[in-house]
Amino acid sequence: MDVVHYSVLQKEVADYLKPVKPGALMIDCTLGEGGHTELFLKTCPDLRVIGLDADETIMKVAKGRLSGFGDRVRFYNTWFNAFFRTYPLGDERPDLILFDLGISLYHYEKGDRGFSFLREESLDMRLDRGLELSAEDVVNDYPQGELEEIFRTYGEERYARRIARAIVGHRSEERIVTSKQLADVIFHAVPSQYRYGRIHPGTRSFQAIRIVVNGELARLETGLEDALRVLKPGGRMGVISFHSLEDRIVKWFFRDKGRACICPPEEPICKCGGTPVVKILTKRPLVPGEDEIRINPPSRSAKLRVIEKLRDEDS
Q: 245: domain range?
A: 10-107+216-309
Q: What is the predicted pLDDT for the residue at 299?
A: 85
Distance CA 139, CA 167 (A): 7
Last residue of a domain, one of 169, 191, 214: 214
Asked whether residue 89 falls in the same domain as residue 209, the answer is: no
Mean pLDDT, residues 45-69: 96
Note the pTM of the prediction, 2 decimals. 0.92
Query: Environment class of residue 268 by beta-carbon count within 10 Å: exposed (0-12), middle (13-18) or buried (19+)?
Result: exposed
| Domain presence at residue 4 | no
* Residue 48 within a domain: yes
In this structure, of 21-35, 64-78, 135-149, 254-268, the range with the lowest mean pLDDT score is: 254-268
Residue 75 located in a structural domain? yes
Q: How confident is the model at residue 118 (pLDDT cuts 50, 70, 90)?
A: confident
Contact between 21 and 234 (Cβ < 8 Å):
no
**Running DSSP on this structure, what letter comes out for residue 298?**
G
Assess contact for 72 and 210: CB atoms under 8 A: no
Domain annotation covers residue 301 = yes
pLDDT single digits (tens) 172-226: 999 999 999 999 999 999 999 899 877 889 999 999 999 999 999 999 999 999 9
Residue 102, domain member (yes or no): yes
Q: What is the spatial distance between Cα 213 and Cα 229, in angstroms, rounded to a whole number?
A: 27
What is the chain's length?
A: 315
The domain boundary residue, chosen from 189, 214, 239: 214
Cβ atoms of residues 55 and 127 within 8 Å = yes
What CATH number has the domain bearing residue 126?
Answer: 1.10.150.170
Mean pLDDT of 85-90: 96
Cα separation, 173 vs 255, in Å, equals 49
Fill in the amino acid letter for 258: G
pLDDT in tens, 241-266: 999 999 999 999 999 999 987 677 77
Residue pLDDT, tens place only, 264-276:
777 777 776 678 9
Summary mean pLDDT of the chain: 93
3-state SS class at 237: strand
